[in-house]
Amino acid sequence: MVSDPNDADFALLNVCKTAQLDIKRSSSSANYVVVDSIPTEVIQAIGASRLIGKCIEMDGLQCLPFPYRRVLCEDLGDEIFRRMRLRSLKLAMLGPSRDDLDHAPTLSHWIAIRDIQFGGAVLVGTPGGHPTLQCALIHTSRLCGIAADQTWARTTSRWYRLGSPAGATDLFEWFGLSGVQMALEPCQIQAMITKDQEEEGFR
């Protein structure tokens, strides 16, 4: 299997999302995160030096004030995702290799829609050979590039080989009228990607 430049960050992102942190409550009813419950990968990523002097001992356990929970998982997750997106924007400008596409999952019956929560565009469609998603219908991470002939796409997470696109009727069946209104034309997709590239200084 061909490795992707984002594989290590993607694995770390999953660690952040699935981390089960132990919480202890002090005698003053303040919550603390038990340091031993923090995944080693997370501590290495943020730098152990950032935690020096922040811990207190409770019942023989080293603990961090509860607000550090956001730093440990949410803020780190945002940082990782941004790093992946920047890397993917650069990769999309270069285009995929033959090996990249040979080992990429497929996305058929797809359509691009606006991501009203985070901005930019995502693809919705039926996956094939996806390493983690086996659903009948998925939406991708943020779109970072798409071929002019619509044969491939690069999202924040990975490359896709694109099959035949879906139409507005399909989108209406999936999401109703609001879905149709979010659908993007090819020129709009490229405009969004170009805007992302320009904002990150790649153009």
Q: Which residues neighbour 109 within 8 Å (Cβ) at sequence distance 6 or greater? A: 125, 126, 163, 164, 165, 166, 170
Tell me the per-residue pLDDT of 3-51, one tens digit each, with 9 for 90 and over. Answer: 899 999 999 999 988 889 999 998 899 999 999 999 999 989 988 777 7
Average pLDDT over residues 175-201: 85
Give me the chain's average pLDDT, please: 89
pLDDT at 178 over 70: no
Pairwise pLDDT comparison (2 vs 67), residue with the higher score: 67
Tell me the per-residue pLDDT of 98-149, one tens digit each, with 9 for 90 and over. Answer: 999 999 999 999 999 888 888 899 999 999 988 887 888 899 999 999 999 9
User: What radius of gyration, in Å, describes the C-alpha atoms of the chain?
Assistant: 20
